[in-house]
Amino acid sequence: MNALITSANSLKALVVVRSLGKQGIEVTTGDKTSFSLSSYSKYSSKSVSYPSPQKYPLNFITSLTEEVSKNKYDVLIPVHSEDTYLIAKHKSKLEPYVKVPLHNYSTIINVNDKGYLMKVAENLGIRVPKTFYPTNLNELDSIVNNVNFPLVIKLRNSSSSIGLSYVYSKEELLKKYEETILKFNLSSSEYPLIQEYIEGEGYGVSLLYNQGSLRAKFTHKRLREYPISGGPSTYRISVKHPKMEKLAIKLLDYFKWHGVAMVEFKLDKKNNEPVLMEINPRFWGSINQAVQSGVDFPYLLYTMAVEGDVKPVFNYKVGIKTRNMFIDSVAILKYFQKTKNLNFVKEFFPLYVKDDVFSFNDLLPSFKFIQIGINEMINSRYK
């Protein structure tokens, strides 16, 4: 039993590596850097490096194909966006040697396009933010006359909070929108979306599908995120939300999904109704939340790929909390600066909370994560 995990320098890869390793699966960690975060885990039996998928996509695929053809892996599990898309696109080159539990490339790309997704969801009767799809800057004038501020500028294809802006006036919209186009060198067909701002709590419905059939589900609520204006979650809790889960399943049923995905919603503060935000068509940053609550998506995905199917898992522990202690501490400081609420101080060391990185049973990745954080701070300061 063995698996190759890509993008091993990411936190979600570390969770996947630990999950599989605890089940006795031999895990090889792969990344563009030789000394990745997950390679320091005691559950990483071997590490390999490959060309950057962002800079050298074809070389990345060639290197990966050579690796899986020379070494007998049961399953190849991509973790980050870029490697997921490339591996899905070139599945035919890899599948003679290894199982690749991903949906087809065209569907993954369509789902990742927020503009395409919003239109599909609306047709299915799923509520989405009021959305505009400009193809030239002249359209902005007519848009601002039909909306209330604040508004959100979003890239069609992005992850985390990359390219995300909140604007509070017509002048700011015009300025930020043009800046976003220039910064990311976007063609008219790639112009960002403009959406109404939905005030409310963030939720994620995580799902596993086997060729269109649901095999596992899990829901969490965000308690904190960083950046606090809207970014990846740093602190969450496992919950149930039947209505939201029904909508997420309806959406992925439509795409006849295969593999893992997380459907993100906001619960509109005005009427308590779920509003679709996006779909992550690969492993998500808060994957540890599901694992700690009893839905071990990495192991379920591996088992499904190897055995052809897996027993459904729809029950889990509610009220389980997880966090990324290091990043969440920064988020707490930002929340305190914003609210001046001293209650946030006690949040630095909450009881009975599982951490995404720190583990007494697997300590080395924690020190590596701190080193990575320090290096990033130094690099950003002297850029």
Q: Is 333 in contact with 347 (CB distance < 8 Å)? A: no
Residue with tokens 């006690």: 346
Annotate 34-72 with b (16+ C-beta within 10 A) or e (fewer). Answer: eebbbbbbebbeebbbbbebeeebeebbebbbebbeeee
Question: Tokens standing for 177?
Answer: 């929108």
Q: What sections of 308-348 are H helices per DSSP?
A: 325-339
DSSP-derived 3-state class of residue 302: helix
Measure the CA–CA gap between 109 and 107, rounded to whole angstroms. Answer: 5
Q: What is the pLDDT of residues 175-218, one digit of tens each?
A: 999 999 999 999 988 999 999 999 999 999 999 999 999 999 99
pTM over 0.75: yes
Strand 193-196 relative to strand 131-132, pairing: antiparallel
| Amino acid at residue number 210 | N
Instruction: Set out the domains of the chain in order of their start, with CATH numbers.
Output: 2-100 (3.40.50.20), 103-128+198-383 (3.30.470.20), 130-196 (3.30.1490.20)
Q: What is the pLDDT of residues 217-276, one digit of tens each?
A: 999 999 999 888 778 899 999 999 999 999 999 999 999 999 999 999 999 999 999 999
Q: Is 252 in contact with 236 (CB distance < 8 Å)? A: no
Of 292, 230, 303, the C-alpha closest to 264 is: 230
Over the chain (383 residues), the average pLDDT of each successive run of 10 is 96 97 98 94 97 96 98 96 96 98 97 96 98 91 86 87 88 93 92 95 98 99 88 93 99 98 97 97 96 99 98 98 88 80 71 89 92 72 50
